[in-house]
């Protein structure tokens, strides 16, 4: 298989989930004590987050680019960014990286299309919900993306940064997210993208009245299929 390079640490919780999914699914395929060839370049989330808050995306881009170069130097043959928000600069990023990369938006869009869904809600960090990279990517698949109202966006974002990135999982936040999803459904959403790689730690299909799309799992499985192929 191809050696997988992971740009991680954004946050550590989601990076752990990527690692667990990749190892478990690879072992199910290969059996025995098999585990995939992986390299992780773990970044400092605090530095990256502060730059995003300052809207210093060019500096964020340079940090991610350096991480990808580190992975290439270490022998990575396929690379993924283990987070949603940084995919804001994915298109620009792929223009400078020779190593194949897998987009979290494409992996998610393909799963949504398989369900026959054409209108989905999007949960994520405030940076993700207020940007248009998901809308632009999914529109190519004929999928419309809608986001929560401003108050719900702020609530979802706060839970991500103050709880989920620290693996704090509460029943109160689970109920709060479920209510946000219900309001997205009332706006016409046929499904909901868990567009922050920590959200699947809190929300599963049992917590939603509409299909959920776990971007962490979808992305990890997409890169594994590519690496094995």
State the catalytic residues: 83, 196
Angstrom distance (rounded) from CA 57 to CA 54? 8
Q: What is the DSSP secondary-structure string of 24-53?
A: HHHHHHH-TT----EEEEE--HHHHHHHHH
Angstrom distance (rounded) from CA 65 to CA 71? 10
Query: Which SS3 state, helix, strand or coil, does residue 79 take?
Result: strand
Angstrom distance (rounded) from CA 194 to CA 204? 9
Q: Which of 101, 27, 89, 83 lies closest to 60 in space, CA to CA?
A: 89
């Amino acid at each position: 298989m191809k050696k997988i390079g992971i740009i991680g640490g954004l946050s550590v919780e989601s990076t752990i989930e990527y690692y667990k999914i990749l190892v478990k699914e690879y072992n199910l395929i290969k059996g025995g004590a098999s585990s995939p060839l992986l390299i992780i370049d773990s970044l400092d989330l605090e530095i990256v987050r502060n730059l995003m808050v300052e809207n210093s995306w060019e500096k964020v881009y340079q940090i991610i680019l350096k991480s990808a170069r580190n992975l290439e130097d270490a022998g990575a043959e396929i690379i993924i960014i283990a987070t949603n928000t940084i995919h804001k600069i994915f298109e620009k990023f792929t223009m400078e990286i020779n190593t194949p990369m897998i987009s979290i938006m494409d992996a998610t869009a393909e799963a949504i299309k398989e369900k026959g869904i054409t209108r989905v809600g999007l949960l994520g960090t405030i940076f993700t919900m207020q940007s248009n990279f998901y809308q632009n990517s999914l529109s190519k698949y004929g999928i419309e993306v809608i986001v929560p109202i401003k108050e719900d966006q702020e609530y979802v974002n706060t839970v991500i940064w103050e709880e989920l990135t620290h693996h704090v999982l509460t029943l109160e936040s689970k109920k709060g997210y479920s209510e946000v999803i219900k309001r997205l459904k009332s706006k016409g959403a046929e499904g909901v993208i868990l567009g922050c790689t920590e959200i699947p730690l809190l929300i599963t299909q049992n917590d939603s009245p509409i299909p959920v799309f776990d971007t962490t799992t979808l992305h990890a499985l997409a890169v594994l299929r590519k690496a094995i192929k």
